Amino acid sequence: MCGIVGYIGDREATPILVEGLKTLEYRGYDSAGVAIYNDKIDLVKTKGRLKDLVKTLGDSNMKGTMGIGHTRWATHGEPSYLNAHPHMNSDVDIALVHNGIIENYIELREELIEKGYKFVSETDTETIVHLITESEKTTDTFLDAILAAASRIDGSYALGVISHKNPDEIIAVRKESPLVIGIGEGENFIASDIPALLKHTRNVYFLEDNEIAILRKESVKLLDMDKNEVKKEIFRVTWDMDAAEKAGFNHFMLKEIHEQPRVMRDVLAQRIDETSTEIKLDQLKIDKELLKRVNKVYLVACGTASYAAEVGKELLQKVARIPAVMETASEFRYKDPIIDENTLMIVVSQSGETADTLAALRMAKKSGAYVIAAVNVVGSTMAREADDVLYLCAGPEIAVASTKAYSAQLVAMYLISIKIGRLLGKINDTEFIELRDALLKLPTQIEKILAREEEIKMLAYKHLDMKNIFYIGRGLDYAASLEGALKIKEIAYLHAESYPAGELKHGPIALIENGSVLMGILGQEYLMEKTISNIKEVKARGAEVIAIALEGNEKVKKIADDVIYVPATHWMLTTLLVNIPQQLFAYYIACGLGHDVDKPRNLAKSVTVE
């Protein structure tokens, strides 16, 4: 949700900020802007994408070696020039970029209007810039004014602030929105995420909640809200910028789909030894003692990650025999959940920053639960705040629609449930070896599915005129069908709905008519006959059926109009394989309809607001 960048050094700030914003566009892309200090603060912003900002900047000739920039995902007020960041005060001497939501902005805005402040935008952010100006009247330093303003704000924020009266510093503050400080030589940076820094430095500080960074050309000082100095280790980023480039693919999404065999190989090589009867999850501290007291597992996540969590829930129950529930994070904390020291929570997240998931994690920790975070982004807030972390190791995922991170989340669910199952003695050596060998085959099996890309593309093109699509499955296939339907909604903008196959006749079947399209998922052999019966019911009512089934399933051929086969595997793992054709199907439908696959409308990659 919104990307922010800042630069202070000896180089021209504008191109550095624009380059940084390009890598953060996945966080929001409805308007953008930069503010540069050069004796005074110059501001250029525009509605639209970064390329529109670049065009506008083309004529502006902004010079200066300190500045801040922003790419926006609108929360308060439509995408427009006035609502775009940076925001400035009426004296035009303070500029500010913000990621997050100010919850009490209406009260603050009214108070400031009464004091004579003029608002030009509908944003919550503008409140902060006027609040700082007001605080300057009663404080000695610019830092104090920012701290005084921050103390009045409820909500979440990552802020980058510059002032004409404080020309040698960028001040950054963080509360519940990610912020990384890049440490260079004679120059320093702020950014919402690491890719914006990688061209310049690999040395970073992750700012924690209620911490402030004061960036000068030669130094970075970290403080808490009482201005006590905070000492922390520099984190060295090891992954490469190449991972965040398209590498010849038309879209990041397609590149990331094709990266899955490699990602699986890397992850499995780290976790599984082909001759061992144990999973190598050394970094996970959970042990038998801890599990003895666990009487319930909550798996909490949002969107795609919640469908991986759904798989995790089912496996923990089936394989490890622990009562487990999956909760959508945005609902969880308002349900008054029963959490205590006997609760294990597993949060699943690509970004590790999703606001609702993070709130659930914090709630669980407060109530004494033990929290494992299965996250992709190294050093993210969830990774830092959980008791235990299992990194997904999927590499940077840039496309808004998650693909490789979802597969890596599934693998994390497999590994955690196998580990817990082993610790509790519910998986014997023979069962483990069967699972281990099946896991190790996944990368080659994914390659086999990707080799059918052309076939899936043709199938997608055949259905470009569909108005909606139903997805059905049972058990783990239902979890997969949820993800299949979400992909279609996100990038093809078509109405796609997923149902447990047996639920169709309790209502939704009334929607089926001649020409309706239905995707039936048939990865779970033991439920196959039942799902086939449900497919027959919709066929009888005129639906056109595409099935995703395991190789060797001849029965489905006689019923479905088209079948996409995936290699057969252990029942626990089919959910990963049946999803690969779903990803390609959604991708080619979206391409065929001419949509911007990597930056779908209204979405942002990292949802750091509630």
- Residue ranges with strand state E in 387-458: 388-391
- Which residues face 188 on adjacent strands? 8, 183
The residues annotated as belonging to the active site are 2, 605
Instruction: Name the token pair of 433.
Output: 């070896």
Give min distance, CB of 405 to ligand AGP, in A: 7
Residues 23, 5: contact at Cβ < 8 Å?
no
Using CB under 6 A, which residues numbered 248 to 307 contact ligand AGP? 302-305
Nearer to ligand AGP by C-beta: 304 or 582?
Answer: 304
Nearer to ligand AGP by C-beta: 54 or 593?
Answer: 593
Question: Could you give the string, one character per residue 443-482, with x where binding to ligand AGP holds by CB under 6 A and - elsewhere?
Answer: ----------------------------------------
Give min distance, CB of 400 to ligand AGP, in A: 5
- Among the listed residues 56, 83, 89, 350, the single contact to ligand AGP using CB under 6 A: 350
Nearer to ligand AGP by C-beta: 68 or 257?
Answer: 257
Residue nearest to ligand AGP (CB): 303
Using CB under 6 A, which residues numbered 569 to 608 contact ligand AGP? 606-607
Give min distance, CB of 506 to ligand AGP, in A: 26
State the Cα–Cα distance between residues 468 and 589, nearest whole angstrom: 12
Nearer to ligand AGP by C-beta: 400 or 456?
Answer: 400
Give a three-class secondary structure readout of 57-84: HHCCCCCCCEEEEEEECCCCCCCCCCCC
Instruction: Name the token pair of 175.
Output: 């509360």
Question: Could you give the string, one character per residue 480-519, with x where binding to ligand AGP holds by CB under 6 A and - elsewhere?
Answer: ----------x-----------------------------
Nearer to ligand AGP by C-beta: 34 or 253?
Answer: 253
Give min distance, CB of 590 to ligand AGP, in A: 12
The DSSP string of 225-258 is TT--B---PPEEP-S-GGGGS-TT-SSHHHHHHH
> How many chain residues are in contact with ligand AGP, going by CB under 6 A?
15
Give min distance, CB of 144 to ligand AGP, in A: 35
Residues 137, 127: contact at Cβ < 8 Å?
no
Give min distance, CB of 361 to ligand AGP, in A: 11
Helix axes 574-592, 404-423, angle to 10 degrees: 170
Give a three-class secondary structure readout of 506-528: HCHHHHCCCCCEEEEEECCHHHH
Element (H, E) at 573: none
**Range in contact with ligand AGP (rule: CB under 6 A) among 10-18, 168-176, 319-327, 398-406:** 398-406
State the Cα–Cα distance between residues 536 and 589, nearest whole angstrom: 25
Give min distance, CB of 236 to ligand AGP, in A: 23
Instruction: Name the token pair of 347.
Output: 């949060």
- Among the listed residues 354, 417, 445, 516, the single contact to ligand AGP using CB under 6 A: 354
Nearer to ligand AGP by C-beta: 386 or 527?
Answer: 386
Give min distance, CB of 401 to ligand AGP, in A: 4
The dihedral sign for the CA sequence 380, 381, 382, 386:
positive
Q: Residue 564 gets which letter from DSSP?
A: E
- Among the listed residues 31, 156, 163, 349, the single contact to ligand AGP using CB under 6 A: 349
Is 65 a residue that touches ligand AGP (CB under 6 A)? no
**What order do you get walking across the sheet with 155-163 strand by strand?**
87-88, 94-102, 155-163, 166-175, 211-215, 220-224
**Range in contact with ligand AGP (rule: CB under 6 A) among 279-287, 350-358, 386-394, 462-470:** 350-358
Using CB under 6 A, which residues numbered 355 to 374 contact ligand AGP? 357
Give min distance, CB of 354 to ligand AGP, in A: 3
State the Cα–Cα distance between residues 299 and 393, nearest whole angstrom: 20
Question: Could you give the string, one character per residue 297-316, with x where binding to ligand AGP holds by CB under 6 A and - elsewhere?
Answer: -----xxxx-----------
Scan for tokens 């129950």, then name that residue.
317
- Among the listed residues 263, 400, 564, 566, the single contact to ligand AGP using CB under 6 A: 400
Is 402 a residue that touches ligand AGP (CB under 6 A)? yes
Is 68 a residue that touches ligand AGP (CB under 6 A)? no
- Among the listed residues 71, 351, 407, 445, the single contact to ligand AGP using CB under 6 A: 351
The dihedral sign for the CA sequence 230, 378, 416, 520:
positive
**Range in contact with ligand AGP (rule: CB under 6 A) among 312-320, 346-354, 546-554, 572-580:** 346-354
Nearer to ligand AGP by C-beta: 261 or 303?
Answer: 303
Give a three-class secondary structure readout of 17-71: HHHHHHHHHHHCCCEEEEEEEECEEEEEEEECCHHHHHHHHHCCCCCCCEEEEEE
CB atoms within 10 A of CB 497: 16
> What Cα–Cα distance (Å) separates residue 214 from each residue in 162, 299, 479?
11, 38, 46
**Range in contact with ligand AGP (rule: CB under 6 A) among 28-36, 53-61, 395-403, 558-566:** 395-403
* Residue 215 Cα to chain centre, angstroms: 28
Nearer to ligand AGP by C-beta: 14 or 351?
Answer: 351
Instruction: Name the token pair of 355.
Output: 């606001």
Q: Residue 118 gets which letter from DSSP?
A: P
CB-count burial class (<10 Å; 0-12, 13-18, 19+) for 539: middle
Residues of this chain that interact with ligand AGP (CB under 6 A) are: 302-305, 349-351, 354, 357, 400-402, 490, 606-607
